[in-house]
Amino acid sequence: MTSANFEFIKALVYQSSGIVLGLHKKEMVYSRLSRRLRVLKLSDFDQYCDYLSNHKPEEFSHFINAITTNLTSFFRERHHFDFLKSTLIPRILSRSNNNKRIRIWSAGCSSGEEAYSIAMTLAPNFPTQKWDFKILATDLDSNMLAKAKTAVYSEQALQGIDPQQIRQGFNLNKRTKQYKVKPDIQNLVHFRRLNLLENWPMRGTFDAIFCRNVVIYFDNQTKNNLIRRYAQLLEPHGYLFLGHSETLSREISEFNPLGHTIYQRKE
């Protein structure tokens, strides 16, 4: 991979997804895209960059899927789920009896663990016979979304979860030793492919938005624009959850920080 190849790939990734690839990511890009060269039977990155330019409709999804990072786990950053229990659930339950609509967005949902964790945390309090409760889960990577929709996970993926929580949220396939999210939980989550930098089809507002370990890959302007768009889609006093290494810049005035990378939209 030449410097020109990397600059071409870097620019294309930024233009399409807002992800900033520093020079320290060159080896990672080389490793991940080398698989595409083997699949396409191309001999070098000059050929791959030409192929990508001339066959974008066919290749671009594979290209983005290879580049994006998908690291997630069930109940990751558990303090966020404790906050759902201690603060969000009572707040929703105290609302007017006429308002039975609940919407949560998991933006950058990867293979689904975050969205299902949210569902498992909230579902016991909001039976669907009485509540209009839905979780939107979006990601750029179509491969991860396909995995998420199956709702099937290995025993290793469930390590660290309380055994009672596993019994409540999963069914074990004794033959394959794999766990499948129970249907009443799975049905709450609706997966869609979405590029966060493009137009969003959603029109209604959300009670909470999870966007964890996503904006860390963006430059400051892209991050700020995205955070302001989230504010427009949140209910007044709705909550935004970021990853443990992410913060809002001083230029963002739409939120009050609550600690532990939890932010509340100002009225």
Which residues carry out catalysis? 32, 139
SS (H, E, C) 156-188: HHHCCCCHHHHHHHEEEECCCCEEEECHHHHCC
Q: Is 213 exposed, middle or buried (0-12, 13-18, 19+ CB in 10 A)?
A: buried
Output the CA torsion 145→137→31→242 (10° steps): -170
The alpha carbon dihedral of 150, 151, 152, 157 has a sign of positive
Biggest CA pair distance of the chain: 64
| DSSP one-letter string for 215-249 | GGGB-HHHHHHHHHHHHHHEEEEEEEEE-TT----
Interatomic CA distance for residues 86 and 19, integer angstroms: 34
